[in-house]
Structure 1
Amino acid sequence: MMGNRIEDLEIYTLSDNFSNKIWFLVSEWDYFAKDTVGKQIVRSADSISANIAEGFGRFHYKENKNFCYFSRGSLIETKGWLNKSRVRGLIGEDKYQELLKELETIHHKLNIYIKYIGKKIIEQPGNDSMTQ
């Protein structure tokens, strides 16, 4: 499931691609929309993949999990900003549904990844001292 490079981690590439979509979407908005909702949604969307990457680079799997929890918080925050963007007329219903579906896929895969973190260590034979 996991290689040695962050780019090999599916949840990272999905969330990174999502944040780039948000960036290019927001870059089309007017100044006021960019300065208010735009900055917030870009930051929260960028934070999803950034926290996954930071956790991936940590030595202890518990630190990795903590950063993934931060990532999940940013994901839920992004859902909120996405909804505000729809309600305030910055994105249409179709675009909202498309992006929401992507976020829900990322959310599901992130939960699976969080459950996976540390399992390799725990399941190794003779590694009883490493179990939680």
Structure 2
Amino acid sequence: MGNREVVVVVERFGDFRDLRIWQQCRDIRGRIWEMTRAFPREETYRLVDQMVRASRSAGNCIAEGYGRFHYQENIQFCRHSRGSLTELIDHVLIAQECHYIDPPTHDSLITDIKSTIKSINSYIKYLQNEKNNTSNLKG
């Protein structure tokens, strides 16, 4: 890894909390936490636990990838985050099917999760471009 690679990432953002995708994940995590508090007690260690873990994992992966300072590692952690959000879409569907959430709540969450996935895809493209530009400077 060259010094330019580290400098490019650090100069643009103070830390991962400045990333819009992390902020979006944080907002989803908060909504999931609040929503699942009203789920039946028997779902505490089933659906609630899975939803909370997936929502937390999404932001955690963005933070961890940012801390790696290598473009390819950061990209891989973004892919993990995207996977956690995709898993969360399925959990939200299950919550609606079990009548734990109403259709408007389902629709709103799905819309926000898909929007975050699109943002992650854009960030991955940005990281890939930066990686390629850095590689071109070395050659």
Q: What's the TM-score once normalised by structure 1's chain length?
A: 0.90
SS at match of 1:46: helix
Alignment equivalent of 1:112, drawn from 114, 119, 122: 122
* C-alpha separation in 1, matches of 2:24 and 2:136: 35
Contact 1:121 1:127 in 2 (8 A): no
* C-alpha separation in 2, matches of 1:125 and 1:69: 21
RMSD: 1.8
* C-alpha separation in 1, matches of 2:106 and 2:49: 17
One-letter amino acid of the structure 2 residue matched with residue 10 of structure 1: R
One-letter amino acid of the structure 2 residue matched with residue 23 of structure 1: W
Q: Give how far 1:29 is off.
A: 1.7
* Equivalent in the alignment of 1:33: 43
Structure 2 residues without counterparts, runs of 5 or longer: 1-8
One-letter amino acid of the structure 1 residue matched with residue 57 of structure 2: S
Closer, same or farther: CA 125–94 of 1 in aligned 2, 3 Å: closer
Contact 1:22 1:41 in 2 (8 A): yes
State the percentage of identical aligned residues: 27
Closer, same or farther: CA 32–123 of 1 in aligned 2, 3 Å: same
Matched, 1:5 2:24: no
* Equivalent in the alignment of 2:76: 66
One-letter amino acid of the structure 2 residue matched with residue 108 of structure 1: K
Alignment equivalent of 2:62, drawn from 40, 45, 52: 52
Q: Which has the higher helix share?
A: 2
Contact 1:56 1:64 in 2 (8 A): yes
* C-alpha separation in 1, matches of 2:82 and 2:129: 19
Structure 1 residues without counterparts, runs of 5 or longer: none
Q: Give how far 1:125 is off.
A: 9.3
Runs of 4+ in 1 over 6 A off after TM superposition: none
Q: What's the TM-score once normalised by structure 2's chain length?
A: 0.85
Which one scores higher on RCO, CA 8 angstroms, separation ≥ 6?
2
Alignment length (residue pairs):
129
